[in-house]
Structure 1
């Protein structure tokens, strides 16, 4: 198989655009590395996630941390006027990591939202997600199930995310590219549809409840609405841009493709802000995490003010000798 050397290359179509994107990723890395390291520290050493039934949240932390670890490589390539590494192994390894981490983030976020849905809309029925949360082995299974979805990237050379029409037209090439694109879109579109459905059902449930029952329902609404926002900001735009890129590519509109490539890469960079937004999911899902994080890393003079912010979760601090101190009331998803 041979790539079309006239159009299939890894050089950036506009140097200024990619310098700006490199600066943006530098900012994401600068903010994301200490944030995710601190969150990882809290989950492991202070919060003890395995005891607080927060295994799924911990897996989102791991996925975000691995994503942050990939950013320096992408920054290096953008600064050197390349969309991807010209080294085949490095290119494939980066795409493997990015797709795996994105798939893991989406899988665990959608699982948390489904758990909220069952605990609110189908309260009293057996919740299979609640059973899954209690077993760390289930998380390992989810990671393993995501691995086959990255196999198409390992079969053929596809520098720069090039797809249909970029290599000699063969049956194997078309099947591989088609499967890769199907995986890319379905792992975003289908979860988003599920999230919207869960959100609508939970909101409708909230409207039908009496005043005394609305507090915990608002917590559930906060979780699913915020996850929808994360999807809308981080994942949906790059899916739309990918569809536009494929359209102009298949129609051989080269000038339009140069623009579409820049838009797509820019929105992919935007999607990396997921590693900065996810910590709010942890606060929505468990007020105990918020209290421990604030009491560990925030200066004492602002702890009182931040501990009063409950993200709609209700209580999370106790009063002792007239002073407010952080406690660990575990308000996890199984209580909703």
Structure 2
């Protein structure tokens, strides 16, 4: 582990010292390892269900499948980041550094956008069932997904155009975050744009998620004509999405705003700038936790996915033995009906004689 510089005062050039590996070098590796293990396990199962067990697709399934793709993009990028944190330096070169950072931040944007699309789709299904939005075809859902990907990737493309390697030899690091005078003006502007996007990508989708959740809840409570299970299912989807959103993305937004405030109003406070930057980097570990938690959204928001998942489980593991009970009940009903029909035929035969 390299020693940390003095963060109490600005450097001679007027900026703060470069950001090195400190707090995130101790906290991030175990967090990211857990993210990778849980994320791969849950998303491999989800991918298997989508590709081999899901018999029919609808727009909601297409949106969720794209969410799986976004999660895998993040999971692919994490092993290199874990290795760099454990070694205390980056050994994979400039090109892989650019791609790694691009995948990390693109996944965050794609996950937020796709979760918002799923919530909006659920909102129209429940609150406006006759809206033409609900007549979306699978082809149109594919175009919506492609538009979302284009929308979230475009602002991140400039990351691929610049070198983000800092230091040399055994001190080489792959960092997107930077100090005031540490990099060129273009990089500093790029980092500022990233911080603005980080905040906006949280505030607007969060407002949409809360709006959809409140409207669905009030709509179902006012009508009171729907089945109770329908109300519970609709609310479970909203609560699951909002909970995952808050846990995974709120800390990064808060720490990013903290860095922003210090950068704007306390440029001499290098200690606070460094600590908030470190916390902002550490909070990225929670961003990637969404890759492990997103399968919960698949289960709650798609009845077809739940049916395919339950059907793929061994009979002994099926929750509540519902499938077995239904099969037994159906078999028993069928047997009883057959016996009654047989008895009726026998009685008719006797009457004919």
The two structures have a TM-score, normalised by structure 2, of 0.76
Aligned residue number for residue 8 of structure 1: 18
Question: Among 300, 304, 309, which residue is 1:284 paired with?
Answer: 300
Distance 1:241 1:276 in 2: 22
Distance 1:87 1:215 in 2: 54
Are 1:244 and 1:260, in contact at CA under 8 Å, matched by a contact in 2?
yes
In our comparison, the structure showing a higher alpha carbon Rg is 2
SS in 2 for 1:127: helix
Describe the superposition over 1:180-210 as per-residue Cα deviations: whole angstroms up to 9, x where unpaired. Answer: 3222221121101111111111111122122
Question: Among 18, 25, 31, which residue is 2:38 paired with?
Answer: 31
Are 1:57 and 1:108, in contact at CA under 8 Å, matched by a contact in 2?
yes
Task: Give 1:162-201 correspondences, 5 Å limit.
Answer: 162-163=177-178, 165-167=180-182, 170=185, 172=186, 175-201=189-215
Deviation at 1:266, TM superposition (A): 2.1
From the superposition, tell whether residues 65 and 323 of structure 1 become closer, same or farther in structure 2 (CA, over 3 Å): farther
Aligned residue number for residue 329 of structure 1: none
Distance 2:324 2:289 in 1: 30
Aligned residue number for residue 309 of structure 2: 293
Confirm whether residue 226 of structure 1 aligns to residue 235 of structure 2: no
SS in 2 for 1:319: helix
Confirm whether residue 257 of structure 1 aligns to residue 273 of structure 2: yes
Describe the superposition over 1:20-79 as per-residue Cα deviations: whole angstroms up to 9, x where unpaired. Answer: 320121122122212211210110111146468511111011111221121111110111
Q: Which ranges in structure 2 are unaligned for 5 or more consecutive residues?
A: 1-12, 165-173, 332-353
From the superposition, tell whether residues 22 and 29 of structure 1 become closer, same or farther in structure 2 (CA, over 3 Å): same
Are 2:18 and 2:179, in contact at CA under 8 Å, matched by a contact in 1?
no
Task: Give 1:90-239 correspondences, 5 Å limit.
Answer: 90-127=96-133, 130-131=136-137, 134-158=140-164, 160-163=175-178, 165-167=180-182, 170=185, 172=186, 175-239=189-253
SS in 2 for 1:166: coil
Deviates most, 254-263 or 121-130: 121-130
Count of matched residue pairs: 308
Aligned residue number for residue 71 of structure 2: 64
From the superposition, tell whether residues 128 and 182 of structure 1 become closer, same or farther in structure 2 (CA, over 3 Å): farther
Q: Which ranges in structure 1 are unaligned for 5 or more consecutive residues?
A: 309-315, 325-336
Higher helix fraction: Structure 1 or Structure 2? Answer: 2
From the superposition, tell whether residues 245 and 178 of structure 1 become closer, same or farther in structure 2 (CA, over 3 Å): closer
From the superposition, tell whether residues 182 and 133 of structure 1 become closer, same or farther in structure 2 (CA, over 3 Å): farther
SS in 2 for 1:161: coil
Are 1:234 and 1:273, in contact at CA under 8 Å, matched by a contact in 2?
yes
SS in 2 for 1:103: helix
Aligned residue number for residue 287 of structure 2: 271
Distance 2:59 2:21 in 1: 47
Are 1:114 and 1:129, in contact at CA under 8 Å, matched by a contact in 2?
no
The two structures have a TM-score, normalised by structure 1, of 0.80
Distance 1:322 1:169 in 2: 71
Q: CA RMSD in A?
A: 3.0
From the superposition, tell whether residues 77 and 113 of structure 1 become closer, same or farther in structure 2 (CA, over 3 Å): same
Describe the superposition over 1:290-324 as per-residue Cα deviations: whole angstroms up to 9, x where unpaired. Answer: 2322342x44322242x65xxxxxxx887223589
Are 1:31 and 1:276, in contact at CA under 8 Å, matched by a contact in 2?
yes
Aligned residue number for residue 84 of structure 2: 77
- Per chain length, whose mean CA-contact separation is higher, i.e. which structure has more relative contact order (CA < 8 Å, sep 6+)? 2
Distance 2:106 2:276 in 1: 24
Describe the superposition over 1:69-98 as per-residue Cα deviations: whole angstroms up to 9, x where unpaired. Answer: 21111110111224x678432222111111
Deviation at 1:109, TM superposition (A): 0.9
